Chain A
Amino acid sequence: MKKKKIISLLLLLPLTIWLVAFALYPILYGLRLSLFNARINNIENPTFIGLQNYIKLFSNSEFGQALLWSLKFAIICTFIQMVLGILISWLFQRDFPGKGLATTLILMPMVVAPFLMGTMFRLLFNESVGPIAYLLSGLTGTTALLGMAWVNPTIIGADTINRMPFVFINMYSAMQGVPQELLEAATMDGANAFQKLIHVTIPTISAIFGITFLEKLLQSFLIFELIFAMTAGGPGTFTQSVSIFIYRRAFQRSDYGMACAASFALALILLVPSLYLVRRTTKGDK
């Protein structure tokens, strides 16, 4: 029995080493840095300033606004993308010609890096010459998709194109696992396709549904590359997500201590939903 335990630990060792070296060590390093006034010009011997960075962070309304914006964005995006993801995978439960190709095409947005896609969206949504802005102008009544009035919906739309495929592939593969007998039984009872979705499919996949939902929520909350490319958080701080806030502190102002403090404040805020999610994810495996 003891031997077994040793073997189990040995098997875990490589992954553990990796996590300690490249995750735990940077985290502790950053935690320490958050207590210092650390900038590139004094990085060799930064000044210890205790909790000053945290005090400054929370006394400045900008961080709170960024959190709030991210929260709103995450809720809206998650809602839209979950609904779409489920509806589309539900559509894909039946057979139709070209299904394989269609699945591939739906997954295609995953193949472009979000940062690059965001930059191209700057052109495609451009007010003067953007092809997509032009196509959409019938719906929106304007091509100024990155103006004050439309910038939030535009970012939400771009994120949906970019990340809905993730929801789709999760939901679609989960639905593949729904036992056929359950669905047939429901058909016998006279349920229509939509009723089957609500009463049979979704309850059966509720576990993976919950996980995907929370994961999507956290992902959207932390959105960075797409916004960085499209608006850089502007106009002003109007679309500044919390990741953009940290990025600007860290890389545009090289205020490392503050950036680390903001990162840890953020990590603490996210810890509760994350832990809950981790418990849900790992529970089924025990």
Chain B
Amino acid sequence: MSRKQKKRLSTIFTVIAVILIVIVLDIGLITNVLTAFKSPFTISSTPPKWIFKPTLDNFRNVLGKGSFDFRLYLWNSFIIAVISSAIAIVLTIPAAYSIVRYHGVGDVILGSTMLLRLAPALAFAIPVFLIFNRFKLLDTKIAIIFMHTLFITPTSLLLFIGYIQDLPKEIEEAASIDGANTIQILTRVLIPVLLPGIGSTAILGFITSWNEYLFSGILSFKNSITATVGTSFFITSYAVEWGNMAAAITLSTIPTALFIFIAQKSLVKGMTAGSVKG
């Protein structure tokens, strides 16, 4: 076998293996999307049907069901996810800069942020619920944003530390000789070169917030319900409304899936830049 043939053969094997892996990982999502187009008794048929007459009823139910305002829930999710990841970025860039360039206290903050990432989130649930209740913040988007930002900061901080370490010190030094102060260095010099990193950090933050269930669920009553929590409303006191639920999941997955599709390359690149130092 020539080298070329060998290579081709190995490529074919790789492709087959990858296809199998993708099928296993995504079979849940695929069957879920199929379920979204099934009528209730198609869902309940044995053996399961893979070919059937699709229906849009489930989507109609999800979007036009009296007091169940799925559009509001999607909108809430969007606002909460965008603001949370934005705040997390604003909080962590200066902190990362301080940690990389000055050390000292920063290392303690870094340590505690990392501890936070590993802490059982559930431990916060009851105290946070009672505290927000006391401050009359329950059922507001702000309460959820506060908590989501907290959960995004560790990853975000770690990534920015990685990016900033990669930057040559010379740019900043040149700017500071020109008389720029720290704030100016941050906003005029650092931010522009960090933009790609900010992009992938923002996406990861957005996904984290969009998919969060526990705190969004506890802290929202009615006005600040997110799409994830709203979708869980199809688990009713009787049956689980499988079709409606699958449709709601499909709809609420579109934004996050879109992000991954558009930004997969920069996501991996961002992770590489942020993580290699370890």
Contact = CB atoms under 8 A, between A and B. Distances in A.
Interface stretch (A48-56, A126-134, A182-190, A194-202): A126-134
A149 interface: no
Interface stretch (A58-66, A71-79, A277-285): A277-285
Chain B interface mostly: helix
A26 to B, nearest CB: 4
B276 A174 contact: yes
B47 interface: yes
A43 B131 CA distance: 12
Contact of B28 (A14, A88, A117): A117
Contacts of B140: none
A108 B126 CA distance: 32
Given A23-B150, A129-B48, A119 B113 contact: no
A25 B43 contact: no
Contacts of A218: 118
Contact of B123 (A25, A207, A246, A282): A246
Chain A interface size band reads 35 or more
Contact of A11 (B94, B103, B114, B214): B94
Interface string A196-226: 0000000001011011000100100010110
A102 B22 contact: yes
Interface string A148-168: 000000000010010011000
Interface stretch (B57-65, B191-199, B238-246): B238-246
B131 A270 contact: no
B53 interface: no
Interface residues of B, number: 107
B211 A260 contact: no
A29 to B, nearest CB: 4
Contact of A123 (B211, B218, B242, B272): B242
A43 B130 CA distance: 9
B28 A98 contact: no
B157 interface: yes
B145 to A, nearest CB: 10
B104 interface: yes
Nearest to B93: A11
B153 A259 contact: no
B76 interface: no
Contacts of A256: 126, 130
Given A5-B102, A111-B257, A284-B278, A27 B127 contact: yes
A108 B46 contact: no
B14 interface: yes
Contacts of B158: 281
14 contacts: A16-B109, A23-B112, A26-B124, A106-B25, A108-B29, A115-B232, A116-B232, A116-B249, A169-B268, A222-B122, A260-B127, A274-B119, A282-B107, A282-B114
Interface of B: 10-11, 14-15, 17-18, 21-22, 24-29, 31-32, 34-35, 43-48, 50, 90-92, 94-95, 97-107, 109-128, 130-131, 146-147, 149-150, 153, 157-158, 161, 165, 182, 207, 210-214, 218, 228, 231-232, 235, 240, 242, 245-246, 249, 252-253, 256-257, 259-261, 264-265, 267-269, 271-272, 275-278
Given A94-B14, A131-B48, A274-B114, 20 more contacts: A5-B104, A9-B98, A11-B94, A22-B149, A29-B131, A30-B126, A104-B260, A105-B22, A109-B29, A111-B207, A112-B32, A173-B275, A174-B278, A222-B120, A222-B122, A246-B120, A270-B118, A270-B119, A278-B118, A285-B99
